[in-house]
């Protein structure tokens, strides 16, 4: 992980409780795919486990899960949920001879040094084990997305970096993120069979207050100066109010997986 990325990732610490209560979980079909037919025999490493949102879903199926997490505040929340966590950047984490059936990363692999982390994941996996990295992308209806884009433009200072008004996207009609930057290191590593990319659609309903709570856990919003963030959230709230105070967000969770040769 580059230093700038590491410092950005540390922003999550003070918002760990908010992150845990507000961030979306993952669809059942994806968890079915990750655990396979024998979940109770699985030993899983969750890289960048955060507060353990994905870890808990796997543990509920009977898998034995170990998390690795850079941020102590996030790790402490995961531990309170019963997940064992080692606090360190994954690139510096000591395998100590341990191996796993699955190495997963939920909404976190983009924070890693991809070349180093892909090679380390290969070392951590037993032959035939799988690396499964996944992210969710959620978008508003076109009308609400347009209104929220206007709200951001009214509040953010001129020249500000564009920010998604949804969850890594603006509208539900936006194209799925291009994940080639993550698949190229898999090929270059030479330790994995050909990767698979799978898509899992689902939806979640938000009230205005639930959405504002979640936005407070997004690193780009956390990084805003407090006055700008307060003004922006007030404008977002007014905009959602005009659309009935609640909305359905269309999500797609995208998973890239590959088996250790």
Q: What CA–CA distance (Å, rounded) separates 122 from 112? A: 15
pLDDT of residue 11: 74
Domains and CATH numbers, the chain: 3-140+172-204+251-259 (3.40.50.150)
First-to-last C-alpha distance (Å) of the chain? 25
Q: Which of 87, 157, 99 is nearest to 128 (CA)?
A: 99
**Residue 45, both tokens:** 């490493």
| Residues whose CB is less than 8 angstroms from the CB of residue 197 and which lie 6 or more positions away in sequence, other chains included | 179, 183, 254, 255, 256
pLDDT tens column, 14-49? 899 999 999 999 999 999 999 999 999 999 999 999
pTM of the predicted model as reported, rounded to 2 decimal places: 0.94
Per-residue pLDDT band for 88 (boundaries 50, 70, 90) equals very high
SS3 content of the chain, % helix, strand, coil (to 5): 45, 25, 30
Categorise residue 62: left if φ over 0, alpha if ψ from -120 to 50, beta otherwise.
left
Strands across the sheet containing 64-69: 84-87, 64-69, 43-47, 100-106, 125-139, 246-259, 196-207
Average pLDDT over the chain, rounded to an integer: 95
The CA–CA distances, whole Å, from 203 to 7, 45, 147 equal 32, 27, 20
pLDDT value at residue 3 = 57
CA nearest neighbour of 87 among 52, 125, 130: 52
Cα 28 to Cα 60, 69, 101, 259: the distances in Å are 12, 24, 20, 21
Tens-digit pLDDT profile for residues 40-80: 999 999 999 999 999 999 999 999 999 999 999 999 999 99
Dihedral pair phi/psi, residue 115, rounded to 5°: -65, -50
- pLDDT score recorded for residue 1: 47
Nearest-Å Rg of the Cα atoms of the chain is 19
Rounded-to-integer distance, Cα 70 and Cα 144, Å: 35
Tokens 């669809």 correspond to 27
Average pLDDT over residues 226-241: 98
pLDDT 10s digits, 111-145: 999 999 999 999 999 999 999 999 999 999 999 99
């Amino acid at each position: 992980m580059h230093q700038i990325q590491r410092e950005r990732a540390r922003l999550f610490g003070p918002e760990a409780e908010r992150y845990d209560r507000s961030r979306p979980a993952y669809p059942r079909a994806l968890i079915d795919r990750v655990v396979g037919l024998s979940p109770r025999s699985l030993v899983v490493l969750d890289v960048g486990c955060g507060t353990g949102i994905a870890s808990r879903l796997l543990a509920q199926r009977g898998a034995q899960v170990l998390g690795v997490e850079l941020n102590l505040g996030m790790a402490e929340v995961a531990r309170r949920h019963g997940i064992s966590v080692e606090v360190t950047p994954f690139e510096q984490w000591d395998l100590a001879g341990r191996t796993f059936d699955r190495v997963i990363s939920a909404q976190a692999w983009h924070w890693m040094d991809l070349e180093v982390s892909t090679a380390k994941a290969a070392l951590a996996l037993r032959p035939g084990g799988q690396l499964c990295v996944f992210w969710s992308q959620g978008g508003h209806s076109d009308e609400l997305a347009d209104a929220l884009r206007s709200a951001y433009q009214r509040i953010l200072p001129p020249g500000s970096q564009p920010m998604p008004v949804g969850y890594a996207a603006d509208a539900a009609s936006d194209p799925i993120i291009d994940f080639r930057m993550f698949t190229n290191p898999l090929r270059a590593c030479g330790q994995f069979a050909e990767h698979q990319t799978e898509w899992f659609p689902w939806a979640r309903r938000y009230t205005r207050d639930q959405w504002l709570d979640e936005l407070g856990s997004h690193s780009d919003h956390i990084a805003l100066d407090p006055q700008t963030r307060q003004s922006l959230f007030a404008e977002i709230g007014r905009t959602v109010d005009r659309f009935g105070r609640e909305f359905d967000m269309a999500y797609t969770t995208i998973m890239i997986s590959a088996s250790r040769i």
